[in-house]
Amino acid sequence: MSEIRLLIADDHPVVRTGLRGMFETEPGFTVVAEAADGAAAVAAAATVRPDVVLMDLQMPVMGGVEAIRRIRAMQDPPPVLVLTTYDSDAQILAAIEAGATGYLLKDAPRETLFASVRSAVQGGSPLAPAVAARLLHRVGGRPRGAPDPLTGRELDVLNLVARGASNREIARDLRISEGTVKTYLMRIFEKLDVADRTSAVTTALERGLIDLPHS
C-alpha cells in the first residue's frame, strides 16, 4: 500500500500535535493537513484530498457531525474516522448517520489507530468495541453470551466483504442503503465477537460459514 495521507481535525493543538507525531513516526503515514474546527476540516478535505480524515466531534464554528456530512457529500469523498472522547448513544448515532466510516475513542492504543486507518482505506468500518456494543443494543442486537447465528442476509453481506466489496458496492449489489449495510456489519461483528472486517472474514472462514472467494 502506498503512503496514507491524513487530515487531522481537532480543536486542541496538543492533540493534533500528538497525533501528527505518532503517525509520522510510523512508516506508511503522512499528515498532509490539520484543522482546528469543522469548517476548516471541510475546506482542507476539498483542497488536499486526503486518503483518510480523523475527525473530533466537539469543535467550534462547525461541529464534527456536520463536517462529516459535508465531506461525505463531496465527489469521491475520503473515509472519515471519528476520534473522540465522547461515546454517548446520541453522538455515535449522529456520526454514523452523517456518514462516518468508523468510530474510535481517544484512549485506543496506537496500534489500533494505525490498523483502523489502514482498514478504512481498504473499505473497512472500524468501531471501538464499546461503540459497537452500544450501536448493536440500539438496533436490537442481543447481549453477548449466546448470540444468534448469522442470518441469510448477513451471510450475503459477509460473502461480499470477503470478496473485497466496499459498503457502497454491497449496498448496490443487495439493493439496500449503505446505512443498512453498516447495521448488518455491526450485527455480524457482535455475533462473531470481532471488531473489524478482516477478523469477521477470518472467523467466518474458520467456522465454515463462508467459502474462500474464487479468483
Residue ranges per domain, the chain? Answer: 4-129, 143-206
Confidence of residue 145 (pLDDT cuts 50, 70, 90): very low
Higher pLDDT among residues 1 and 197, named by residue = 197
Three-class DSSP category at 107: coil
pLDDT 10s digits, 60-119: 899 899 999 999 999 999 999 999 887 666 777 788 888 888 888 888 888 889 999 998
Three-class DSSP category at 130: helix
Q: Which CATH class is domain 143-206?
A: mainly alpha
Three-class DSSP category at 146: coil
Question: How many separate helices (H) and strands (E) can be counted in the chain?
Answer: 10, 5
Q: What confidence score (pLDDT) does residue 133 get?
A: 61
Q: What confidence score (pLDDT) does residue 20 get?
A: 95
Higher pLDDT among residues 180 and 212, named by residue = 180
Residue range 123-141: mean pLDDT, rounded: 65
pLDDT 10s digits, 158-205: 989 888 889 999 999 999 888 889 888 988 888 888 888 888 888 888
Tell me 124's DSSP state.
-
Higher pLDDT among residues 11 and 1, named by residue = 11
Q: What confidence score (pLDDT) does residue 43 get?
A: 97
Confidence of residue 130 (pLDDT cuts 50, 70, 90): low
Distances (CA, A) of 97 to 75, 112, 134, 162, 181: 18, 23, 15, 24, 12
- Crossing angle between the packed helical segments 64-72 and 89-98, to the nearest 10 degrees: 20
Confidence of residue 135 (pLDDT cuts 50, 70, 90): low
Name which of 80, 59, 70, 71 is nearest 15 in CA terms.
Answer: 59
Does residue 11 register a pLDDT over 90? yes
Pick the CATH number of 4-129 from 3.40.50.2300, 3.40.50.720, 3.40.50.1820, 3.30.479.30: 3.40.50.2300
Phi, psi angle pair for 180, to nearest 5° = -65, -40
- Give, in degrees to the nearest 5, the angle at Cα 23 between 182 and 198: 35
CB 131 within 8 A of CB 182: no
Residue range 8-18: mean pLDDT, rounded: 94
Does residue 14 register a pLDDT over 90? yes
At 74, list the grid cell.
Answer: 463531496
CB 84 within 8 A of CB 64: yes
Tell me 127's DSSP state.
B
pLDDT 10s digits, 41-59: 999 999 999 999 999 988 8
